[in-house]
Structure 1
């Protein structure tokens, strides 16, 4: 799917549910703010998560008591009505994060999406264990492309499957973790996707404009809170058992 078509469809679906629930024209304020590490992920023993290393931040929109989140490399703050956010041009990753976090909060409020708040402390480790069980039960022993380095997941997946991982962080590329070399997403994604039998992709791809690369004929599992609303509206396969 062409990325413009994906975001156009997502925006239209979101606009429709907002209009149906008479939220579009109301002057409802949606506030986005960047969470600090403690707020976002608590205090896990493992300290190599991207959000702890400072490469990405978690933006959070709050709407009528519900919260929606989006990982982004361009954090910032925004306050406005839902109508303003829908009509706001999406030109940067910040714009996209504002839209995605807002969409997630509203979808959670309308009970269209669930589990929109990032898990904390040792829950990412539990999530990784459950992911292995889920894959073995549903897919057997596939060759896996991990899109976005999530260290707990990479460790567990590498212990049970053949895995290749790509990431955009230049400081990580070329490193070896748990016996797996971290490959350059800009150069190696196509090769890795051709090689794999199952794609396990961070939901942050819907906030950094790369998601459509992974909407192929091959099965894909998206993980994380960033994609909660988009997965619900676009019927995408999401795995996020420990989020709230």
Structure 2
């Protein structure tokens, strides 16, 4: 299978060329948002963004905004063509590329919801996720890839839940009655257990998304990070409160 980043790069370049954007002296700016800029006051303080475990990088392109979560943030200024030719071998370059991809597709009218919800948004998102899962899957065994506190807490009240995470401070601890497991463990057994997967879009920037493509059960990718990639790759995405 063609590498997912190669696929995304190729399709982004095709779209940019068709729109005549690569030849323009367009400047792409990627910057790191503060937690308050990114999510406002969600009424809780346990999001990875608030704890300094992740940062939200934002790219602005032709007045459109695109975002991406990453654990390796940084600033970038350059042309669209420069972004689309970056080596995508580390989390920093992947975050700049993904945020810019989201901004590009937003500019072209291909996607919406590329900016993270704020304040009451995460709580409403969690409530809507529970309703969505009940409506489409009944009472499934839900496997979370990435600890998103609001979503895990809400789902743990109604469904059997397991959570994989890469943060050593979370692994082995219990959150909302759920033991947080090591995301570097037995992925195949986890995939077989789950009846639906909730996969954080951050897997696209940390390089682990391939583990969750072509899963034996439905995979629902959530968040703003995955917006553009979900559109280009035909992935099922859940992000009802983003703008």
For the aligned pair, the TM-score class normalised by the smaller chain equals over 0.9
Counterpart in the other structure of 1:219: 218
| Deviation by residue 1:93-148 (Cα, 9 ceiling, x = unmatched) | 00100100000001001110101000011210110110011111111111111010
Gaps of 5+ in 1: none
Gaps of 5+ in 2: none
Asked if residue 31 in structure 1 is aligned to residue 55 in structure 2, the reply is no
Normalising by structure 2, we get a TM-score of 0.97
- Output aligned runs, 1:96-175, within 5 Å: 96-175=94-173
Normalising by structure 1, we get a TM-score of 0.97
Residue-pair matches, total: 242
- Output aligned runs, 1:1-244, within 5 Å: 2=1, 5-216=3-214, 217-244=216-243
SS in structure 2 opposite 1:98? Answer: helix
| Deviation by residue 1:29-78 (Cα, 9 ceiling, x = unmatched) | 00000000100110121110110011000000001111000100100001
Q: CA deviation at 1:189?
A: 3.0
Aligned-residue RMSD, C-alpha:
1.0
Contact residue 10 and residue 230 of structure 1 kept, 8 A: yes
Q: CA deviation at 1:191?
A: 2.3
| Deviation by residue 1:138-195 (Cα, 9 ceiling, x = unmatched) | 1111111101001111111111111100100000111111110000101143321121
More helix by share: 1
Contact residue 166 and residue 188 of structure 1 kept, 8 A: no
